[in-house]
Structure 1
Amino acid sequence: MKTLKCLILLLFVAGNLLATEPPKNEKPALEQAVEKLRKAILDADKTALDALTTEQLTYGHSNGLIEDKAVFIKALVTGESDFTSIDLTEQTVTVVDNTAWVRHKLAGNTNNKGVAGTAKLAVLMVWVKQKGDWKLLARQAVKI
């Protein structure tokens, strides 16, 4: 009887292991989402920015300013915050279930409120998968 119970348990565990699909590599999808966000920021594309961010977005700037989704998008669309170029380097992507974080260095040129400037930042972004799409939940930058 003990052997039968062990055999049943072994078959149950083996069946579950075989039935479970290995997790899909999400790194390329996240890299694409980051690139879409980069382009949407450059283009001040309200529709794309809305689609790429969660309703709970918290967007932290290197000067300490924290924006929610509405303020983040409005600042870009109105030109209050205006990137004329963005280059991302040293990017790493880590995925845990439906959450991921992306770190990179950002070098860019700005034209905020018509005043030219430059940005050199280290950025941490937190992404979540919602309804099959990766969306930005949080972002924090620091000056480098």
Structure 2
Amino acid sequence: MKKILTMVLLLVLSVSQSFAATPNQTTVEQTVESLRLAMLNADKAQLEQLASTNLSYGHSNAMVENKAEFVEAIVSGRSGFTTLAFQDQSIITDGDTAIVRHTFVADTNNSGIIGKVKIGVMLVFKNADGEWKLLARQAYKLPQ
């Protein structure tokens, strides 16, 4: 009986381990949360730190911004948020690359124009010198 109980316990532990977040996934998740807060608070220094020099930031309307344009749009209030949530998030890591998908839900204040947005987003992060940097973002319209 003890052998069976031990085997069942080992099986349960090994299955639960396979669903646990890896250290990379946990670090990426923390980086994504830092990005969300930096966007919500229009934190220029944090946005610049989190974004790769080669950032390609795609919007759901097909507009694409580089790092400087992305940061300026947020900091200037041209793309402003009063609430911002990343829902139903998934993270896949492969070495020094991470792919993050989530639903981007926000109340916006874009240069005084109030609105709401709910779109799908895919982010690509690269680990550069021990720090995860946002390399690419593509937003897309969700099915109605």
TM-score range, shorter chain: 0.7 to 0.9
Measured against aligned partners, the alpha-carbon deviations of 1:13-54 in whole angstroms (never above 9, x if no partner) come to: xxxxxxxxxxx6201100000000000001110000000010
Alignment gaps of 5+ in structure 1: 1-23
Alignment of 1:29-108 (within 5 A): 29-108=27-106
How much has 1:106 moved relative to structure 2? 1.2
**Moved beyond 2 Å, runs of 4+:** none
| 1:137 paired residue among 135, 138, 143 | 135
Q: Secondary structure at the match of 1:106?
A: strand
How much has 1:132 moved relative to structure 2? 0.5
Structure number, greater radius of gyration: 1
TM-score by length of 2: 0.82
Q: Which residue of 1 aligns with 2:126?
A: 128
TM-score by length of 1: 0.82
Matched, 1:111 2:109: yes
What root-mean-square deviation, in Å, do the aligned CA atoms of Structure 1 and Structure 2 show? 0.8
Identical residues among aligned pairs (%): 44
How much has 1:83 moved relative to structure 2? 1.2
What is the count of residue pairs matched by the alignment? Answer: 121
